[in-house]
């Protein structure tokens, strides 16, 4: 029996300048879909998103963190990768969003239109930029036990995501995150500042609840054609409401909990349709070695996009 396929969509922090440039320059269908998205979003932004992502002189290492651009960039990019996979007859049985990646799930499933998804991504970015405090997010490669080990440096931060046993994310005000970053560096604990400037998944989002719910309630939303899973909490399928979307922005991500819940029932083929391949890495560390699930990425930050895409297709042919 063929294992069910799960398309996984990453959120804020997975984006970078030049993401997928090799595909854009050499894969005609990807370029067509990116131009299609750009034609929709350019009037909303007042400039071309393609120019923003692929502008010359910008390095992959340079922070790409202006929310008004990164939100629609992530959505467009993941949507276009999805389209070229589906045109290659790689069809998902489930869609799994990680934080903001749930918006991509909504669009891909057909629950909301691409145009509404892009409009919402920009509206919510402008709302957060105008009404939310500057903050930061820090990815940490260690057990969450260190929160109890060093309570004095974690007390001003919040746990925002559990990725796998030795990987989690915290958020907080910018000064507190910088202090924690320096403290962990001094103790040789691996950590990375994420290109995110706002307090997603923390109490800093609380004042925005009424406006976020109002924004989403203005969108025409259906149940969608493809079942959607959520990293917010373990569940076989998500019921999409404005309250759920608010919770996606407000409460911690539990990616490891969702994966462990799914793996109780059967094996899957997990495909990371984000730009960085991080979700495939998370799945790698979560999957039980005795299981038979696969974890694949479409592309990653290290280039050779066409090779990565062809490798994924070949892996699926072998699996079939």
Question: Which residues does the annotation mark as catalytic?
Answer: 99
Could you give the CA distance from residue 176 to residue 178 in angstroms, rounded to a whole number? 5
Could you give the CA distance from residue 240 to residue 103 in angstroms, rounded to a whole number? 11
For the beta carbon of residue 190, count every other beta carbon within 10 angstroms.
12
Burial of 155 (C-beta count, 10 Å sphere; 0-12/13-18/19+): exposed
Q: Which two tokens stand for residue 144?
A: 């969450």
Q: Which two tokens stand for residue 307?
A: 């090779």
Strand pairing report for 5-9 and 269-272: parallel
Ramachandran quadrant class, 167 (left: phi over 0; alpha: psi -120 to 50; beta: rest): beta
Could you give the CA distance from residue 212 to residue 249 in angstroms, rounded to a whole number? 9
**Residue 43: closest CA among 72, 16, 17:** 72
């Amino acid at each position: 029996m063929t294992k069910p396929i799960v398309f996984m969509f990453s959120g804020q922090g997975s984006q970078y300048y030049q993401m997928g440039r090799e595909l854009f320059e050499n894969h005609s269908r990807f370029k067509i879909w990116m131009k299609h998205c750009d034609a929709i979003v350019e009037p909303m932004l007042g400039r071309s998103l393609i120019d923003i992502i692929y502008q010359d002189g910008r390095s992959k290492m340079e922070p790409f963190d202006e929310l008004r651009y990164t939100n629609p960039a992530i959505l467009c990019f993941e949507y276009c990768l999805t389209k070229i996979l589906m045109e290659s007859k790689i069809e998902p049985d489930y869609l799994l969003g990680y934080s903001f990646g749930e918006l991509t799930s909504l669009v891909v499933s057909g629950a909301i239109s691409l145009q509404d998804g892009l409009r919402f991504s920009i509206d919510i970015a402008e709302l957060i930029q105008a009404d939310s405090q500057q903050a930061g997010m820090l990815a940490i490669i260690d057990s969450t036990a260190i929160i109890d080990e060093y309570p004095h440096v974690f007390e001003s931060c919040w746990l925002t995501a559990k990725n796998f046993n030795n990987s989690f994310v915290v958020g907080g005000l910018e000064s507190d995150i910088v202090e924690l970053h320096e403290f962990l560096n001094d103790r040789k604990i691996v950590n990375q500042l994420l290109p995110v400037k706002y307090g997603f998944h923390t109490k800093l989002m609380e004042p925005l609840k009424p406006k976020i719910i109002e924004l989403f309630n203005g969108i025409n939303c259906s149940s969608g054609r493809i079942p959607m899973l959520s990293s917010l909490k373990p569940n076989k399928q998500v019921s999409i409401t404005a309250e759920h979307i608010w919770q996606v922005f407000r409460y911690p991500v539990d990616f490891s909990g969702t994966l462990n819940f799914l793996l109780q029932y059967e094996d899957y083929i997990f495909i990371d349709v984000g730009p960085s391949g991080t979700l495939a890495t998370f799945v790698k560390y979560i999957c039980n070695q005795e299981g038979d699930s696969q974890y694949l990425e479409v592309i990653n930050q290290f280039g050779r996009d066409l090779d990565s895409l062809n490798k994924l297709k070949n892996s699926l042919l072998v699996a079939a």
